Amino acid sequence: MAVFSLTILEATSSFYEGECESLIVPTTTGLYGVLASHCDAVLALVPGMMQYRIPGEKEFKVAAISGGIVKIEKGSVLILADSCERPEEIDMNRAREEAAMAKEKLLQKQSAREYQEAQAQLARAMNRIKVHDSME
């Protein structure tokens, strides 16, 4: 299978740099797949499960991504993410606590902005739990 160059950068570090056969990312319009020779595009990422296959591997590697952008240009892909976590890196106790706090915030009377922030916090926490549970 043909490969392309994939670079995944988090806000504070590099998550992955190397070759990739296939990539699936969560976007504002749904899951988006990328293969070699894909047309150029720039997409907004939302919290969700990112999947990518490295040459020689049978299984997709998965990660919880919290949002960002993906740029596909001239046969290479660059992902700039707020954060990425492999399932084994996810602290389930912390994720559950964050989800509980976000649910509590949603029940409180607050401004529209605070409500949206609580919704985003809940989405990120639930995504981390989902990605962690997908590997069990």
Do residue 76 and residue 110 come from a single domain? no
Containing structural domain, residue 57 = 4-85
Strands 61-65 and 84-85 come out as antiparallel
Q: Tokens at residue 34, please?
A: 């990328």
- The model carries a pTM of 0.82
Q: How far is CA 121 from CA 78, 99, 103, 131, in A?
A: 25, 7, 9, 16
Do residue 9 and residue 67 come from a single domain? yes
CA dist 101 and 110 (Å) reads: 14
CA dist 47 and 136 (Å) reads: 20
Do residue 10 and residue 75 come from a single domain? yes
Do residue 11 and residue 77 come from a single domain? yes
Q: How far is CA 49 from CA 70, 115, 120, in A?
A: 14, 24, 15
> How many domains are contained in the chain?
2
pLDDT of 40-60, one tens digit each? Answer: 999 999 999 999 999 989 899
Confidence check: pLDDT of 135 > 80: no
Do residue 42 and residue 22 come from a single domain? yes
Do residue 59 and residue 11 come from a single domain? yes
Do residue 63 and residue 128 come from a single domain? no
CA dist 61 and 111 (Å) reads: 39
